[in-house]
Amino acid sequence: MSCVFCDLIKSRKDWVYETEKSCCFPDIMPASDIHLLVIPKIHIESLSCVDEENSSYITDIFEAIPKIVSKFNMKSYRLVSNTGPLAGQSVNHIHFHILGGRTFAWPPG
């Protein structure tokens, strides 16, 4: 089955940040002034699929996030990862939304 994020990884298009294990790019349907996606460079379907073999990719993402938000001068931001269709996951490749540039409400929805 084809994965839009796996295809994007191959194209290396529009990346604003990259490590050996992850990449970051603008969301094509932004929900805030700054809306970035961070994904691992291997296919992991969701948070429910993180295990000992692939967890280093998630660690890499969490180590990259402070560098990414610093690059975009974000002092406050929201980090989101939807898991499963009822939570709003629309691409079955784990990804983290970094949202900033505006005030957010709680609960989110």
- Active-site residue list: 95
What is the DSSP code string of the chain?
---HHHHHHHHT-S-SEE-SSEEEEE-SS-SSSEEEEEEESS----GGG--TTTHHHHHHHHHHHHHHHHHTT-SSEEEE---SGGGT--SSS--EEEEESS---SS--
